[in-house]
Chain A
Amino acid sequence: MSQAKVQSANVDYAAFPDKTGHFGPYGGRFVSETLISALDDLTEMYERLKNDPEFLAEFDKDLAYFVGRPSPLYFAERWSKNAGGAKIYLKREDLNHTGAHKVNNTIGQALLAKHSGKKRVIAETGAGQHGVATATIAARLGMECIVYMGAEDVKRQAMNVYRMKLLGAEVIPVTSGSKTLKDAMNEAMRDWVTNVDNTFYIIGTVAGPHPYPQLVRDFQSIIGREARSQCLELTGRLPDALVACVGGGSNAIGLFHPFLNDETVAMYGVEAAGYGLESGKHAAPLNEGIPGILHGNRTYLMEDEDGQIIETHSVSAGLDYPGVGPEHSWLKDLGRVHYGAIDDEEALNAFRMLTRVEGIIPALESSHAIAYADKLAREMTPDQTIVVNLSGRGDKDIHTVAEIDGIVV
């Protein structure tokens, strides 16, 4: 699967995925035949609604009044001064209702579910953020909601499990395979193939079969559109660099996509290096993986020489996934986005730093982006700016961090 590097300046990013759902060699639809017609229906409905003024008005209204958008672009002045390089701005997705960027997408998909007439929604979740966001919107729209979650994650994220139950969702622990996010996604697919007539599958990231990577990206692109105009307003120019963490990659693509055709804006996606890239115990398929097929799309994966998916590790459950959205794989090959990696320890240090220096407790996922931006800022100058996506708040991670510190909360 060696793909010649295309001159990225010649690519019209808005034109992808192509009609068959591919980003170059990536993406597509690798699913059971039973699901093809449901995906065709979804594609057709989305194509019809994505430019429909009424649908968009409904979406915008929810984003404004239910989520609380626009989220601020915040100048992290003390951090910038400490780093001594570029000016760092945080896109405050942590301030959204439910505490992360995930809700932008669940609202969009729940509106599609509503238009489809399906009254039952299902979702997979790792740390529980997407599950909570889905349960939240399902509660508001009065829909039945089933969330699949790896049995290991159910144990580790008891609070989010309880939040989902409070919101009226049924949380089903998944005991197959490695009992984590990838297995939850397998199980959600199995539910969908069984209940395809009455069920809408709300996928939480820019992965899965076409049209999911496209529609999740479109719903999350509100992040980048806002950041772009806020940056112009605050600094009078476009940022020099964007930084976002990448698990499946929805917050990153949401920030990056509206800037892709702005050649002067450099972009950095940050994967989880776990115990270190050299340890093999990480979740960095774009850094260390190779292209393969999983969960409905072709993309970079963590797999062994037999094509079996291997277990990943990250201190952050939201990045602990062996694949990545297909558009990221394509952007990597094109050289448009640089994908780096930050290990557990660096992320934990960044978590503590931001908390103490800016009074903002970031999610461990977002802490990977913060750690990376801290290094990057030091190589840049005070007349330059970086926008970092602060994709979620860290309340959910307090227990994890306390445990690492040897403290019982």
Chain B
Amino acid sequence: MNRISKRLSDLKAEGRKALVTYIVNGDPNPDVTLLTMHKLVEKGADIIELGVPFSDPMAEGPVIQRGHERALAHKTSLRNTLAVVKSFRETNQDTPVVLMGYANPVERMGAEVFAENAKNAGVDGLLTVDLPPEEAPILIDKLKTAELENIFLLAPTTPRERAEKIVSMASGFLYYVSLKGVTGAGHLNIAEVDQRINELRTMTDLPICVGFGIKDGESAKAIGKSADGVVVGSLLVAKMGELENESPEMIAQAVGDLIEPIRKAIDEQ
């Protein structure tokens, strides 16, 4: 069983919700990422979502855009991201790592080469923001061959019929985008998210994680009532920017500290 499915089914058995944490590889500099990944695990992250820097991150709000810019100033890219995951796996074989990014760096590497390299590096899944399932038949196929999960996104605007189609192709978990907007937006509507998740539950048994707009323990807890997991990103990336000039150890510690209260809040369910 893939690390993602195992982790999510273990959590479910314990009656707990998954905490998914997002940082950008190489933000604010390459020395920070690996330390922070380990620190996040120590502080209670269940799944690491590692952002692959891209020059044109269309789906991101200003906070994560800056994270991509800081990372790209150090030329970190997809190849470097795979190398970081490989290093992470030297001491951590259990925590699932999902790469989150945009289609072009994967396209440039080539679907088959990517799938193979990602597998070898110890990546568990890929979430591509600008790659709807219709446009990705080859990549989906190659990921499947390499036993990597292709994480599909569902949005508040996804009609039922389309959601059914996407759900039927999905594995690992479903990523529900909680709002119409970019990452870090401030208009989360909990009741609306609950309703959509309940609707999705009628179509699938796959775990559903919710991202975009979750900023603190309170919103994480509220979303965690209906979802199987919550994704926290902008909060962490904002801290990366704030502490840009500090030592890697200090940044990793501070970012790790941020998720402690969130972990606690979602465990209070």
A-to-B contact residues, CB < 8 Å: 20, 28-38, 176-177, 182-183, 186, 189-190, 193-197, 292-296, 298, 301, 303, 305-310
Docked-complex contact B105 and A193, CB < 8 angstroms: no
Q: In the complex, what's the smallest C-beta–C-beta distance from A27 to chain B, in angstroms? A: 10
Docked-complex contact B155 and A34, CB < 8 angstroms: yes
Docked-complex contact B155 and A307, CB < 8 angstroms: no
Docked-complex contact B159 and A37, CB < 8 angstroms: yes
B156 to chain A: which residues have CB within 8 Å?
Answer: 34
Docked-complex contact A177 and B69, CB < 8 angstroms: yes
B242 at the interface (CB under 8 A from A): no
* Candidate in B55, B75, B103, B159 with the most chain A CB atoms within 10 angstroms: B55
Interface string of B233-244 (1 = CB under 8 A from A): 000000000000
Chain A interface SS verdict (over half): mixed
Docked-complex contact A293 and B158, CB < 8 angstroms: no
Do A294 and B56 contact each other (CB < 8 Å), given the known contacts A31-B132, A36-B162?
yes
Docked-complex contact A30 and B132, CB < 8 angstroms: yes
B130 to chain A: which residues have CB within 8 Å?
Answer: 30-32, 293, 296
Do A306 and B105 contact each other (CB < 8 Å), given the known contacts A32-B153, A190-B61?
yes
Q: Which of B3-11, B39-47, B176-184 contacts A (4 or more CB under 8 A)?
A: B176-184
Interface string of B127-159 (1 = CB under 8 A from A): 001111011000000000000000001111111
Interface size class of B (residues with CB under 8 A): 35 or more
Measured CA separation A309–B68 after assembly (Å): 13
When A and B form their complex, what is the total count of cross-chain residue pairs whose Cβ atoms lie within 8 Å? 123
Interface string of B78-116 (1 = CB under 8 A from A): 110000000000000000000000111111110000000
* Candidate in A20, A38, A177, A195 with the most chain B CB atoms within 10 angstroms: A177
Do A308 and B105 contact each other (CB < 8 Å), given the known contacts A32-B153, A190-B61?
yes
Measured CA separation A303–B78 after assembly (Å): 14
Q: In the complex, what's the smallest C-beta–C-beta distance from A31 to chain B, in angstroms? A: 6
The list of the 6 closest CB pairs from A to B, nearest first, reads A307-B108, A306-B77, A307-B105, A34-B155, A194-B181, A33-B155
B-to-A contact residues, CB < 8 Å: 53-62, 65-66, 69, 72, 75, 77-79, 102-109, 129-132, 134-135, 153-159, 162, 177, 180-182, 185
Name 13 A/B residue pairs within 8 A (Cβ), A-sorted. A31-B58, A31-B130, A33-B155, A34-B177, A36-B157, A36-B162, A37-B157, A186-B56, A186-B58, A190-B60, A293-B102, A294-B104, A301-B104
Measured CA separation A341–B138 after assembly (Å): 34
Docked-complex contact B155 and A308, CB < 8 angstroms: no
Docked-complex contact B135 and A28, CB < 8 angstroms: yes
Closest residue of B by beta carbon distance from A34: B155
Measured CA separation A88–B182 after assembly (Å): 49
Docked-complex contact B79 and A193, CB < 8 angstroms: no
Measured CA separation A303–B182 after assembly (Å): 24
Measured CA separation A174–B2 after assembly (Å): 42
Docked-complex contact A307 and B106, CB < 8 angstroms: yes
B132 to chain A: which residues have CB within 8 Å?
Answer: 29-31, 33, 36
Docked-complex contact B107 and A292, CB < 8 angstroms: yes
**Per a CB cutoff under 8 Å, which of B69, B79, B181, B185 touches A306?**
B79
Do A307 and B78 contact each other (CB < 8 Å), given the known contacts A33-B153, A194-B180?
yes
Docked-complex contact B158 and A303, CB < 8 angstroms: no
* Candidate in A29, A38, A190, A301 with the most chain B CB atoms within 10 angstroms: A190
Measured CA separation A308–B103 after assembly (Å): 11
Measured CA separation A238–B70 after assembly (Å): 54
B104 to chain A: which residues have CB within 8 Å?
Answer: 292-294, 301, 303, 307-309
B57 to chain A: which residues have CB within 8 Å?
Answer: 186
**Per a CB cutoff under 8 Å, which of B75, B103, B180 touches A193?**
B180
Measured CA separation A315–B256 after assembly (Å): 48
Q: In the complex, what's the smallest C-beta–C-beta distance from B44 to chain A, in angstroms? A: 29
* Candidate in A32, A33, A182 with the most chain B CB atoms within 10 angstroms: A33
Docked-complex contact B103 and A293, CB < 8 angstroms: yes
Docked-complex contact A176 and B62, CB < 8 angstroms: yes
Q: In the complex, what's the smallest C-beta–C-beta distance from B91 to chain A, in angstroms? A: 27
Q: In the complex, what's the smallest C-beta–C-beta distance from B162 to chain A, in angstroms? A: 7
Docked-complex contact B108 and A305, CB < 8 angstroms: yes
B129 to chain A: which residues have CB within 8 Å?
Answer: 32
Closest residue of B by beta carbon distance from A308: B55
Q: In the complex, what's the smallest C-beta–C-beta distance from B1 to chain A, in angstroms? A: 27
Q: In the complex, what's the smallest C-beta–C-beta distance from B170 to chain A, in angstroms? A: 12
Measured CA separation A189–B132 after assembly (Å): 16
